[in-house]
A = this chain, B = another copy of it.
């Protein structure tokens, strides 16, 4: 039986989603270990997005094949009973036999959280980037607007081997909240390695008045890796949703 599960996790302790050859702690490794305890045999999973080390998720989607005679809710509960407290299965549902979380996804949405304050905030330090000085949300948003549409995003990230760097961004929205909080939401058909964090780091320079929206656009248009200098830290980033066009 093909099963689809939505995962939430705190990425702090992990070397990213994808299992590695070494002994690094990964989300995939923890979920597969839980499933093996439940199924009594190895179960391989595939995920929609390969989140980096330290990156969080509130809506990662995974799928796997498993022999299961009980309800989907019972499977969800069994997973949660076998997962560490920083990973949770939010739901479980039967999926079509060939369902593939990555190839079938129409889009992914990430949110990046920041805050400006004279002093670091210990209560959100693991969920947001502490940016020094003020951020001009309107300036950052004006620059972000140039991301929307189909572009070669070479300047902001690295594609998987054998793929080009053309991606389609459906939405790129920078919003200021209360208490110096800022959030950047971006939806695209797919993302390059480091793409969101590189975009956010560079948009923050625009927000700080160190770069104009025109300069930001010129970096995008140059299609050249190495023009960006700020990679926003991982703890501000969360994979919030994967859309399958349902």
Contact = CB atoms under 8 A, between A and B. Distances in A.
Interface of A: 8-10, 56, 58, 76, 80, 85-91, 119-123, 125, 127, 238
Contacts of A119: 8, 76, 80, 88-91
B123 A58 contact: yes
B89 A125 contact: no
Contacts of A85: 120, 122, 125
16 contacts: A8-B122, A9-B122, A9-B123, A56-B123, A58-B121, A58-B123, A85-B120, A86-B122, A86-B125, A88-B119, A88-B121, A89-B119, A90-B119, A91-B119, A123-B127, A123-B238
Contacts of A121: 8, 58, 88
- Which of A56, A87, A121 counts the most chain B CB atoms within 10 A? A121
A46 to B, nearest CB: 21
Nearest to A9: B122
A120 B58 CA distance: 11
A10 B86 contact: no
Contacts of A9: 122-123
B88 A10 contact: no
Nearest to A7: B122
A51 B72 CA distance: 42
- Which of A9, A86, A120 counts the most chain B CB atoms within 10 A? A120
A4 B41 CA distance: 60
- Which of A9, A121, A123, A125 counts the most chain B CB atoms within 10 A? A123
A166 B34 CA distance: 51
Contact of A122 (B88, B122, B123): B88
Nearest to A121: B8
A77 B120 CA distance: 11
A123 B88 CA distance: 10
Contacts of A80: 119-120
